[in-house]
């Protein structure tokens, strides 16, 4: 049993060596690439899911934007697998760490902005001023749009961190409550067990949705800049 | 034919398989498509380094100063 509520968010260590690389690389072992045309069931399901995600995300992109297909597919697969593996009890979820999420969000966002400035400079700078703005408001609005541009990667990272962390905290709290209630009020513990089951279902949904939202927003920034 | 299975041979073999499996298939991505991402990864590394060195400097400044005459 965890000693405190936040023990599961600490980086697991063996002999003082952090296992962060192991946890980040572990989901890649679950994806099985194959060179066959006809595969077994699990590989076929994986291929079908990848085709579904590709069609969903990349249909509206230009040719330049579609060069990022591999990156965006990898991103959604990585975040989904990490989130789903973290729903298991006592599992460490790398996506609860703000450092990892900022490490994903900032390079991807800035790369899209750089791409826009490099290939479509006028259009990218024009995005800083909405159409039809009254002239006296122009300086103020440019400042506001620039601030909103720089907040995008922070919002991306914090959204993912906060959602996953909040869900895990709730599960821990309810789990501890159930354990305490088991020895005192058994009937109330039945209610908390039902709530935990519902919460785990919600957490599974949140894990998938947050991965999709993260990738969709990066794809949107790419679309705006390509 | 004598097979070089010593440490050096294993490392060369590993490098060859990395080049064949990773670099050859991903060369276009790493050199053309992800140019902006490499630049931003470099900038982020610089930002992390600046923040870490500032943190170390502030910790050194906050550390208690030893009394005069004591090491």
Q: What pLDDT was estimated at residue A71? A: 92
Mean pLDDT of A72-76: 93
* Residue given tokens 């990667």 in the structure block: A153
Torsion, Cα of A180, A184, A187, A190 (10° steps): 20
Q: Is the pLDDT of residue A1 over 60?
A: no
- Pairwise CA distance, residues A109 & A63, whole Å: 19
Q: Is the pLDDT of residue A94 over 60?
A: yes
- Pairwise CA distance, residues B10 & B17, whole Å: 11
Q: Is residue A119 helix, strand or coil?
A: helix
Residues in chain B: 71
Higher per-residue pLDDT: A155 or A7:
A155
B14-69 pLDDT tens trace: 888 888 888 888 888 889 889 889 999 898 899 889 999 999 999 888 877 666 65
Average pLDDT of chain A, as a whole number: 88
- Pairwise CA distance, residues A77 & A214, whole Å: 11
Chain A within 8 Å of B55 (Cβ-Cβ)? no
Q: What pLDDT was estimated at residue B5? A: 64
Q: Which tokens sit at A196? A: 């935990």
Nearest CB to A70 within list B29, B36, B40: B29
Q: What pLDDT was estimated at residue B68? A: 64
A17-63 pLDDT tens trace: 888 888 888 888 888 777 788 888 888 898 899 999 999 888 888 88
Q: Which tokens sit at A7? A: 């023990």
What ipTM was reported for this prediction?
0.74
Q: Which residue of B has its CA nearest to A68?
A: B33
Distance of residue A68 Cα from the nearest chain B Cα, in angstroms: 7
Give yes or no for a contact between A93 and A83, defined as CB atoms under 8 angstroms apart.
yes
Cα torsion B53, B56, B61, B62: sign: positive
Q: Which residue of A has its CA nearest to B39?
A: A111
Determine whether the interchain pair A111/B33 forms a contact, defined as Cβ–Cβ distance below 8 Å: no
**Residues of chain A found within 8 Å of residue B43, distances taken between Cβ atoms:** 110
Look at strands A17-18 and A13-14 and give their pairing: antiparallel
Q: Is residue A92 helix, strand or coil?
A: coil
Q: Which residue of B has its CA nearest to A67?
A: B33
Rounded to the nearest 5 degrees, what angle is found at the Cα of A45, between the Cα atoms of A43 and A48?
110
Q: Name the pTM for this structure.
A: 0.86
Mean pLDDT of A5-26: 80
* Residue given tokens 């541009």 in the structure block: A149
Distance of residue A150 Cα from the nearest chain B Cα, in angstroms: 14
What is the band of B3 on the pLDDT scale with cuts at 50, 70, 90? Answer: low
Q: Which tokens sit at B58? A: 């502030």
Closest CA to A66 of A221, A224, A222, A213: A222
A144-187 pLDDT tens trace: 999 999 999 999 999 999 999 999 999 999 988 898 888 888 88
Mean pLDDT of A128-132: 82
**Residues of chain B found within 8 Å of residue A67, distances taken between Cβ atoms:** 29, 32-33
Q: What pLDDT was estimated at residue A205? A: 95
């Amino acid at each position: 049993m965890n000693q405190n509520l936040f023990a599961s968010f600490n980086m697991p260590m063996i002999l003082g060596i952090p296992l962060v690389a192991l946890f980040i690389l572990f989901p890649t072992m679950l994806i099985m690439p194959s060179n066959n045309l006809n595969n077994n069931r699990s590989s076929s399901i994986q291929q079908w899911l990848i085709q579904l995600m590709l069609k969903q995300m990349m249909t509206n992109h230009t040719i330049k934007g579609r060069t990022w297909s591999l990156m965006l597919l990898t991103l959604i697969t990585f975040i989904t697998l990490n989130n789903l593996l973290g729903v298991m009890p006592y599992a460490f979820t790398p996506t609860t760490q703000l450092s990892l999420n900022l490490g994903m969000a900032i390079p991807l966002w800035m790369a899209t902005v750089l791409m826009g400035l490099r290939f479509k400079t006028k259009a990218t700078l024009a995005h800083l001023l909405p159409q039809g703005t009254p002239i006296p408001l122009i300086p103020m609005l440019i400042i506001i749009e620039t601030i909103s541009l720089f907040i995008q990667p922070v919002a991306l990272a914090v959204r993912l961190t906060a959602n996953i962390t909040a869900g895990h905290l709730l599960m821990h709290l309810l789990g501890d409550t159930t354990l305490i209630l088991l020895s005192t009020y058994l009937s109330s513990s039945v209610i908390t067990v039902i709530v935990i089951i519902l919460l785990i279902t919600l957490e599974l949904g949140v894990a998938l949705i947050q991965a999709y939202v993260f990738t969709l927003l990066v794809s949107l920034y790419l679309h705006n800049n390509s | 034919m004598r097979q070089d299975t010593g440490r050096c041979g294993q490392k060369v073999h590993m490098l060859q398989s990395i080049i064949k499996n990773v670099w050859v298939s991903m060369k276009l991505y790493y050199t053309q498509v992800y140019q902006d991402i490499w630049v931003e990864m470099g900038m982020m590394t610089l930002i992390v380094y600046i923040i870490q060195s500032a943190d170390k400097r502030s910790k050194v400044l906050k550390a208690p100063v030893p009394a005069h005459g004591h090491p």
